[in-house]
Amino acid sequence: MAPKTLSAFLSPLSFPHNPTIFNPNLPQIPTKKRSPVFCRFSHPQKNYDKSPVSEIDLPEGTGAAAPTPGDRFLERHRSFEAAKLILKENKNNNNNKKKDKPLKVSTAVACCYGCGAPLQTSEVDAPGYVDPETYALKKKHRQLRRVLCGRCKLLSHGHMITAVGGNGGYSGGKQFITAEQLREKLSHLRYEKALIVKLVDIVDFNGSFLARIRDLAGANPIILVVTKVDLLPKGTDLNCIGDWVVEATTKKKLNVLSVHLTSSKSLVGISGVASEIQKEKKGRDVYILGSANVGKSAFITAFLKLMGEKDPVAAAAQKYKPIQSAVPGTTLGPIQINAFLSGGNLFDTPGVHLHHRQAAVVHAEDLPALAPQSRLRGQSFPKSRILAENGTTGNNLPNGLNGHSLFWGGLVRIDILKVLPETRLTFYGPKSLRLHMVPTDEADEFYQKALGVLLTPPTGKQRADEWRGLEIVRELPIKFEDAERPACDVAISGLGWIAVEPMSKMSSNSDSSSEKTAGELHLVVHVPRPVEIFVRPPLPVGKYGADWYQYRELTEKEEETRPKWNF
């Protein structure tokens, strides 16, 4: 075994005639330092031929030929260096035996404050590019952390520039980093003590939830922030929405401290999140996590704006905040923000790119069509105006929706095999995706002719020719048990949801019995591969949501452990 201290190496050199002087187990007696004197017959070289110091020339005798003080210093210095080298090798061997842990992202490399990409001057089209003259000037004045790269400048002017490829990335444009590499940049979080603020899009609640958040966050506490509640239909009761979100979160068995309904645009709920972060931070760093395009950068902008009213550090951080863009994958690396006067940093992180969302299958230039820009308005089939005029499903649909197919743009097709006459489907999602209804026996031919023209996205003939089609087909048996409330929601990952509901509320014929509405429905849903389909309890939206939503009775234990919601 190699010695652990320098004295273990040096003792046979300085005191070969008395190797016990440096024994820590014996009492030390102060003595006057003397130069060692060696005799020919007691030369230590003869006794230490097999030791590590046998190669060092030890002094012999005295007089003019004896080593000078400088020679002795060099010999002693070499001994120190040899000892340090062996100790370093031993330490490296011990470290290699331990389990390797991902290193925390280094903040020593200068990165673009808008997207987190490392600054570079070689590739003009790549993220992080800065003009060489600008880079040199900023570096001279130590202002590299205040530089915005060329890609971020284009994104801020509305250009659609994707940079993420791989499983969960985006087709079209150049791809400089994979979704797996971005996810790897967050792997260090599970080994750190941090506060996690997890964002979920209410329009795509199931698709953006990140069910395997523990793989990234470890055992760190989580504050759940639901974004874009200002997009919910007019008249929606947020009390019902908050209870619905808590119920859905509890079923996933996550250790959530609290739930907050927010809007980064109107600042609704942001103050509650800020108070909760200040309460639970306790000197730790705060990381904003979420799927791609869930609204992390917009949330940070709203958060800094609100915090800046009282905190001068947060006010100063607003000048160099992350860039906002409709392009998923805008943020390409962790962005450190000094936002707290009380200590700890705020980190904007790259979005987790999920391969099962619609954004992962459409062309980059069609991505804006998937993002709602204004308050959602449900589009119902059969249309409510027909119901109001006739009090029935209309003369043109004597069997209701049976035998018809509904197309939601070119991304979703729903074949209605069996529904009751008093059933309607209401679509909640982007207004840019048009709805078309045709008889099911004509649906295949209609899709081939209308794709890229009436049914968009994909947009244009060229993209339509490259489109792989709606490869996933899932049959959904749905039980309709209550005539006063929707049966369920069919959620399409990355797009929105379809509410399967009764028409008695909208019909002028109010004495329709529950016998006409109760029963089993059969739908067949077609989506692109690998987009996921979720069947979930109905989300209580609109002015009628509060009428039919039922709060579950809780036990005393559930009252204590259930996370509270705020808005």
Query: What is the per-residue pLDDT for 519?
Result: 80
Instruction: Produce one character per residue of 396-414: b if its CB has 16 or more CB atoms within 10 Å, e if not.
Output: ebeebbbebbbbbbbbbbb
272-290 pLDDT per residue, tens? 999 999 999 998 999 999 9
Work out the pLDDT band at 407, boundaries 50, 70, 90: very high
Whether residue 434 sits in one domain with residue 339: no
Query: What is the per-residue pLDDT for 324?
Result: 84
Domain count, the chain: 3
Give the integer Cα–Cα distance in Å for 142 and 434. Answer: 52
Whether residue 215 sits in one domain with residue 253: yes
Q: Is the pTM of this model over 0.85?
A: no
Residue-range definition of the domain harbouring residue 120: 107-159
Whether residue 300 sits in one domain with residue 195: yes
Whether residue 378 sits in one domain with residue 345: no
pLDDT higher than 50, residue 41: no
Whether residue 347 sits in one domain with residue 215: yes
Please state the φ and ψ torsions of residue 269, each to the nearest 5 degrees. Answer: 80, -10
Give the integer Cα–Cα distance in Å for 83 and 68. Answer: 23
Give the integer Cα–Cα distance in Å for 331 and 348. Answer: 8
Whether residue 321 sits in one domain with residue 221: yes
Closest-CA residue to 326 (of 430, 458, 452, 205): 430
Mean per-residue pLDDT over the chain, rounded? 80
181-196 pLDDT per residue, tens? 888 888 888 899 999 9
Question: Where is average pLDDT lowest: 17-31, 197-211, 482-496, 499-513?
Answer: 17-31
Whether residue 189 sits in one domain with residue 127: no
Instruction: State the residue for tokens 């260090």.
Output: 188
Greatest CA separation for the chain: 125
Whether residue 150 sits in one domain with residue 208: no
Q: Which of 96, 131, 159 is the last residue of a domain?
A: 159
pLDDT higher than 80, residue 45: no
Task: Specify if 32 maps to a domain.
Answer: no
Q: Where do runs of H (alpha helix) occur along 352-420?
A: 384-390
Task: Specify if 87 maps to a domain.
Answer: no
524-561 pLDDT per residue, tens? 999 999 999 999 999 999 999 999 999 999 999 988 88
Work out the pLDDT band at 165, boundaries 50, 70, 90: low
Give the integer Cα–Cα distance in Å for 154 and 325. Answer: 10
97-118 pLDDT per residue, tens? 444 444 444 456 889 999 988 9
Task: Specify if 191 maps to a domain.
Answer: yes
Whether residue 226 sits in one domain with residue 196: yes
Q: Where do runs of H (alpha helix) occur along 294-416?
A: 296-307, 312-317, 384-390
CATH code for the domain of 206: 3.40.50.300
